[in-house]
């Protein structure tokens, strides 16, 4: 997962701000309104198909497996 915020911070700390301005104009990731990249696990931050949205869980399958019993899912082994 490339984190653009780190790069943007580095560019903004430079004395010459034109690169930061150009980055914002041309290379900044869009804020997504829908799509798989928008589904994010609230425990580990994983995105994509493995994220369970049912019952507003918003956990990925791996995290769900680890914490299901503590959430009150009884039939889960």
Enter the tokens of residue 50: 């493995």
Q: How many CB atoms lie within 10 A of CB 63?
A: 20
- Integer distance in angstroms from the first to the last C-alpha of the chain? 31
Question: Closer CB to Zn ion, residue 39 or residue 60?
Answer: 60
Count of positions on this chain that bind Zn ion (CB under 5 A): 6
CB of 30 to Zn ion, least distance (A): 24
Question: Interaction with Zn ion in 44-63: which residues (CB under 5 A)?
Answer: 44, 46, 60, 63
Shortest distance (Å) from residue 62 CB to Zn ion: 6
CA distances from 73 to 33, 44, 57, 64 (A): 30, 20, 12, 10
By beta-carbon proximity to Zn ion, the closer residue of 39 and 63 is 63
* Interaction site with Zn ion (CB under 5 A): 41, 43-44, 46, 60, 63
């Amino acid at each position: 997962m490339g984190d653009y915020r780190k790069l943007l911070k580095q560019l903004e700390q430079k004395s010459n701000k034109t690169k930061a301005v150009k980055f914002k104009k041309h290379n900044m990731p869009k804020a997504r309104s829908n799509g798989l990249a928008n589904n994010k696990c609230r425990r580990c931050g994983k995105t994509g198909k493995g994220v369970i949205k049912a019952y507003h869980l918003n956990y990925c399958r791996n995290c769900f497996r680890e914490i299901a019993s503590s959430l009150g899912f009884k039939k889960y082994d």
